[in-house]
Structure 1
Amino acid sequence: MTSPESAQIVIRPAAARWRVRFEGHVIADSADALILEEPGHTPVVYFPREDVSMEYMSRTDRATHCPYKGEAAYYTLLMDGDFAENAVWTYEEPAPQAQMIRGRLAFYPNRVEIYPVAEADVNPRGARPGVADVVRHTDAGDGTTQADHWPAP
């Protein structure tokens, strides 16, 4: 997922579901997070904006520049009277080699709790079966399957 011009950063899909907790509340939960690795820095988890509770964030005037990722914009978290100033950042117009993180959000780990979550903890029943699986395993009452009566998907 990297190109020669982006040799300084590596962006890959996260292998697990990730969450962010602020002041005891889960404010981000995603099975579509990305991990960005940059030499000399701890890996950073980037969350899709649609998986983050944006109602607790307020855009600030802070901006920084990274030669590999571009211009970062910041948000302050505010919840239950507690706030974390400039605790969240995003690259809305990232550099060409960082396009995968466009519009995604990252959090400072010293301001919030960022942690992986096992899918089994989120959905203990596992994936729901499709109609074909349910029909195939439905008994017709005489010990035979119902699958013969339904078209294949």
Structure 2
Amino acid sequence: MRRDPVGPGQESVWDYPRPPSAEVTGRHVVVELGGRVLADTRRAVRVCETSHPPVYYVPREDVADGVLVRAAGSSVCEWKGAATYWDVVVDGRRYPGVGWSYEDPAPEYEHLRSAVAFYPGKVDRALVDGEQVRPQPGGFYGGWITDEVAGPVKGGPGTLGW
């Protein structure tokens, strides 16, 4: 693996910490699906982990009422704890596996409690400060790639061992 060059205003995912950082950001985060704004916040928690683009967790209070429905399945993050998965329902249509949360996170990640992260590849639009986000490659990870992120990022073929 060779690092991508870091340009002005960029940060390398290879400089992100492990275990991941989790900090509240004032960036404007918007998520849209099925013609509806699912989330709109300026107080998301930005989680950064080595080799991954950032993930933005939206406080539940900034998610549209009634759109989240508990989905089947779960997984465990070695740092954050057990993840709960969410489907989204918009105008009677159910979109499976659109987001996840940590309902009972590890103490170091308490500020993620009940905040929801959305997979940018499963929504119509995910924006950070007006910039359209590109999804992290692969089907499992939910990172948000913006122009400020330099990689390469984990998730594509041949990267599981990183």
TM-score bracket, normalised by the shorter chain, equals 0.5 to 0.7
Q: Which ranges of 4 or more aligned residues in structure 1 deviate by more than 2 Å? A: 80-84
| 1:71 counterpart = 2:79 | no
1:10 to 17, 21, 35: 21
Please report how far the alpha carbon of residue 7 of structure 1 lies from its aligned counterpart in structure 2 after TM superposition. 4.4
Question: Which position in structure 1 is the counterpart of 2:107?
Answer: 96
- Unpaired runs of 5+ in structure 1? 1-5, 119-153
SS in 2 for 1:83: strand
Give a deviation string over 1:101-125, Cα, whole Å, max 9, x none. 111010001011221246xxxxxxx
Specify every segment of 5 or more residues in structure 2 that has no aligned partner in the other structure, as ranges.
1-16, 131-162
State how far apart, in whole Å, the 2-side matches of 1:24 and 1:61 are. 25
- Hey, which of these two has a bigger chunk of helix by percent? 1
**Contact 2:18–2:50 (Cα < 8 Å) also in 1:** no
1:121 — aligned with what? none
State the match for 1:115 in structure 2: 127
Looking at structure 2, the residues matched to 77 and 33 of structure 1 have their Cα atoms a distance apart, in angstroms, of 19
Normalising by structure 2, what TM-score? Answer: 0.64
- Residue 30 of structure 2 aligns to a residue whose secondary structure is strand
TM-score (norm 1): 0.67
Kept after mapping to 1: 8 A contact 2:76/2:83: yes
Counterpart pick for 1:59 among 58, 63, 70? 70
Residue of structure 2 in register with 1:147 after alignment: none
Aligned residues: 113
Task: Give the Å deviation of 1:23.
Answer: 1.7
Q: Greater relative contact order (Cα 8 A, min sep 6): structure 1 or 2?
A: 2
Change (3 A) 1:75 1:54: farther
Residue 38 and residue 54 in structure 1: after superposition, are their counterparts in 2 closer, same or farther (change >3 A)? farther
| SS class of match (2:121) | coil
Shift of 1:90: 0.6
State the match for 1:138 in structure 2. Answer: none
2:60 to 49, 73, 87: 49
- Which amino acid is the alignment partner of residue 31 of structure 1? R
Is the radius of gyration larger for structure 1 or structure 2?
1
Work out whether 1:26 is the aligned partner of 2:37. yes
Question: Does the Cα contact within 8 Å between 1:62 and 1:86 map onto a contact in 2?
Answer: no
Q: How far did residue 15 of structure 1 move?
A: 3.4
**CA–CA separation in structure 2 for the residues paired with 1:54 and 1:89:** 16
1:27 and 1:7 map into 2 onto residues whose CA distance is: 30
